[in-house]
A and B are shown apart, each in its own frame.
Chain A
Amino acid sequence: EIAMTQSPATLSVSPGERATLSCRASQSVSSNLAWYQQKPGQAPRLLIYGASTRATDIPARFSGSGSGTEFTLTISSLQSEDFAIYYCQQYDIWPPFTFGQGTRLEIK
């Protein structure tokens, strides 16, 4: 089973600044990685798949990069609606599909 580790657990950033979230896989997952955003009381929302392809209607301020075992989600200029929990998920070697434990992005 591939373990996904996200860092940091909590990230405090001011609105308008850049946020960088990391996700590491315990072995290579190629580019088969997705990112999700989840707000309190809501279902997750797909942001990125294929490590760097934005999903439909996702703003350009969200970008993904990386391959193999190291991945990054960057939010270039934080808006108030971006404060949420972010999860990465690998879909290269499955079952099982595995998620990271999440990074909570909070307002500084």
Chain B
Amino acid sequence: EVQLVESGGGLVKPGGSLRLSCAASGFTFSSSAMSWVRQAPGKGLEWVSSISSSSAYIFEANSVRGRFIISRDNAQKSLYLQMNSLRADDTAVYYCARSITSRPGWFDSWGPGTLVTVSS
């Protein structure tokens, strides 16, 4: 069974940093592209960033470019999101999501999410 579990969320002040992690199990992690998708309170889904299976390709939304960095450790079966210069509008539940292919596309499995709150 595919399992994705996010961690690392919490309350952080504007301008601060946070590192999210996603632990994967139940599938060949090194063969799957991985992504972060977020959802602000009461709002819809927003794609944040994706990384190919081998880390050769990284993509990010304009809204986070230069502030957020996605990475992965295939040996540890883990996905990360380093979030810097956080702003109030980064407040959201952050989901880790898998794409079944080596490049991202549709997201066939999701973690339960971790809440990031940016507030003074």
Q: Which A residues fall within an 8 A CB radius of B? A: 32, 34, 36, 38, 42-46, 49, 55-56, 87, 89, 91, 94-102
A101–B106 CB distance below 8 A: no
Chain B residues 12-57 with CB under 8 Å of chain A are 35, 37, 44-47, 50
- A95 → chain B closest CB, angstroms: 4
In the complex, which range does the number of interface residues on chain B fall in? 20 to 34
Residues on B with beta carbons closer than 8 Å to the beta carbon of A43: 95, 110-113
Q: Which of B69-105 contact A (CB under 8 A)?
A: 95, 104-105
Given contacts A43-B95, A87-B45, A99-B47, contact A32 B59 (CB under 8 A): no
Q: A43-B95, A43-B113, A94-B59 are in contact. Are A99 and B108 (CB under 8 A)?
A: no
Our pick among B59, B95, B109 for the contact of A95 (Cβ within 8 Å) is B59
B120 sits at the interface (CB 8 A): no
User: If A45-B110, A87-B44, A91-B105 touch, does A97 touch B95 (CB 8 Å cutoff)?
Assistant: no
**Contact A97 B110, CB 8 Å, known A87-B44, A102-B44:** no
Known: A34-B107, A46-B108. A95 touches B61 (CB 8 A): yes
Please tell me if the beta carbons of A49 and B112 are within 8 angstroms of each other in the complex: no
Query: Min CB distance, B65 to chain A, in Å?
Result: 10
